[in-house]
Amino acid sequence: MSGTARQGAGEAARSTEESTAAMTQTRPRPQPADPAPTALDAAPSGRNAPARRAPRPGPRAGRRPLGGAAGVLFEPPGARGRRQRRLGSVAAAALIAAFAAVVMLQLGRHGQLDWARWQPLTQASIQRFLFSALGDTLLAGVVSIAIGLPLGAVMGLLRLSRRRLVSVPAGAVVELLRSLPLLFVVYFFLLGLPSLGLRMPPFWQLVIPIVLHGVGNFAEIFRAGVLALPRGQSEAGYAIGLRHGQVMRLIVLPQAVRALLPTIIGQAVRALKDTTLGYVVSYPELMHQGNVLGSFLENDFLQVYFEVAVIFIALNWLLSKLAEWVETRTGRTPRPVRPRPNTAPQIGVPKTN
Amino acid sequence: MNVVADHFGEILTGFGRTVLLTLVSFAAALVLGGLLGLCRVAPLGVLRSLAACYVHTVRNLPLLLVVVVTVFVLPQLGLTLSLNTSVTVGLAAYIASYVCEILRSGMETVPAGQVEAARAVGLTTFQCLRLVVLPQALRSMVQPLGNMFIATALGTAVGSVAGVNELSGVIRQLNVQYVEPLALFASATVLYVALTLAGGLITGRLERRLRIHR
């Protein structure tokens, strides 16, 4: 059982690796007319090249050219093609505009667009209310990541242990944590535990389930990162006489963590989104306070939730910018181990301009 | 343990609703996400930015917010649907943004040379997409899509906030009534694990079957 499970998980790790690598492949597609940049482009990309530009397919995806087959699917149009595309664009734009108009019209008919309903959002006191809720959202998010990340790392490493007595139970716990809905765990902490005599404040009723959920995810992230590292790295470590623990600590983890930073930030975005379950446990975060405000303003839910949505999008956009920034930073710092070109993992290769 | 035995039917009904919600939302998300994914690589800038906009908006929103707003907004748009359907729509809209990105990245994993070769033997763009790019892209998408299936299954629990009586909702109600948390939550845990395990096993098998040995 555990053998197949491990194998399956290995596949999972590999394939997420592949897909995330593909999502973030920033290399522009080679232009056949101009061979020089193509050659330069191809040079740093060994077998593992995409791994270093790891995960978090963030908002930047919008502007960059598509890679692989997706980028060359359509030939550059000729005169007639251009005309057709222009026509198609106009038609598509018209369709989208019509759809938006219908939505707006319907909302207007139900009075959702009346200024009286949006006006409260311009009041300073209401903004202060919502932004103090943002503080509570951030607090819950930061605390859950601060606890969940180290615990998850430990669980991931335990699952990779060579002792079955350790790896099998750790794997079972991780899989269990990953296969329970977060809300279900929240219900257990909200309704189940108090009747067993364990009552805690709403903050922990929210944060502990997020931490548990996060431990499962972080553990898998770490395991995938360690498994994605080329085998030669740890083999080389053993060859020069390091122990398993030393290989992990000195060789595998430093490289894995660097490659994983953007994924970890992606997981942080998820944790932040998960704090909205404070709605259920009455923890005063954005969603809960939005609901309170909506009923206080006599049914102006749509307007308040609109602002909550904007805050979330802005917040997560900032985080994904951070992930991008971290990526470029880690790409420039010198590596602790300096392997021979092309045979070693390409994590942290300085980008040549 | 008695509660679980006495109300086994109710729990199973809740579980059935969870499974149904999962299947329908996932199917709808596949369709919507597939369309968005095709828009994402379309030659028309309007469609590309529409899909990009959708993905970047919805992916950054919490699922609970998406579901609650959907349930609230749909009637305002003149669509009075049952609660189940509304929650399905919200869940599908959320998952679709992920499916879209999976499809796009799947198509990006196919080497550009494949398209060039297809064009060289005279396939039209549509044929190239249908016969060359998509079959190869789908293979690399099986595992991420399996993960999305599991995410959908876990996401259905959010429906209980909107008032859908799926597994988590049933357990919550029974627990309020009978206060036997250990037995109730344990029974639901078993069912959830069974559902996600089944999802994982099916994906694993599919992937092994579809893999090309080179």
User: Is the pLDDT score of A27 beyond 70?
Assistant: no
**Closest Cα in chain B, distance from residue A246 (Å):** 33
**Closest Cα in chain A, distance from residue B75 (Å):** 9
A194-248 per-position pLDDT tens digit: 888 888 899 999 999 999 999 999 999 999 888 888 889 989 999 999 988 889 8
Cβ contacts (< 8 Å) between A280 and chain B: which residues?
161
A255-303 per-position pLDDT tens digit: 888 888 888 888 889 999 999 999 999 899 999 999 899 888 887 888 8
**Closest Cα in chain B, distance from residue A319 (Å):** 10
Whether the complex's predicted ipTM surpasses the cut of 0.85: yes
For residue B44, give the nearest of A30, A85, A196 by CB distance: A85
A301-353 per-position pLDDT tens digit: 888 999 999 999 999 999 888 888 887 776 544 444 444 444 444 444 444 44
Cβ contacts (< 8 Å) between A16 and chain B: which residues?
143-144, 147
Cβ contacts (< 8 Å) between A75 and chain B: which residues?
119, 125
Q: Do A279 and B161 touch (CB under 8 A)?
A: yes
A327 sits in which H/E element: helix A301-332
**Closest Cα in chain A, distance from residue B27 (Å):** 20
For residue A317, give the nearest of B60, B77, B110 by CB distance: B60
In a 13 Å sphere around the CA of B136, the CA atoms on its Cβ side amount to 19
Query: What pTM does this model have?
Result: 0.81
Cβ contacts (< 8 Å) between B161 and chain A: which residues?
183, 279-280
Residue of A nearest to B129 (CA): A73
- Say what percent of chain B tops pLDDT 70: 99
A282: left (phi over 0), alpha (psi -120 to 50) or beta: left
For residue B192, give the nearest of A66, A70, A184 by CB distance: A184
Cβ contacts (< 8 Å) between A89 and chain B: which residues?
44-46
Residue of B61, B97, B180 to mutate when probing chain A, most A C-beta within 10 A: B61
Rounded to 5°, the CA angle A132-A137-A141 comes to 145
Q: Which residue stretches of A110-243 are H helix?
A: 115-118, 124-159, 164-178, 182-187, 193-195, 202-228, 231-239
What pLDDT sits at residue A216? Answer: 93
Cβ contacts (< 8 Å) between B150 and chain A: which residues?
179
B162-191 per-position pLDDT tens digit: 888 899 999 999 988 888 888 899 999 999
Enumerate domains of chain B plus CATH numbers.
2-210 (1.10.3720.10)
User: From CA A183, how far away is CA B176, in angstroms rounded?
Assistant: 16
pLDDT category, B214, cuts 50, 70, 90?
low
What pLDDT sits at residue A22? Answer: 38
Contact A179, A274 (CB under 8 A): no
Fold of A123-332: MetI-like fold (1.10.3720)
A158-188 per-position pLDDT tens digit: 998 888 999 999 999 999 999 999 999 999 9
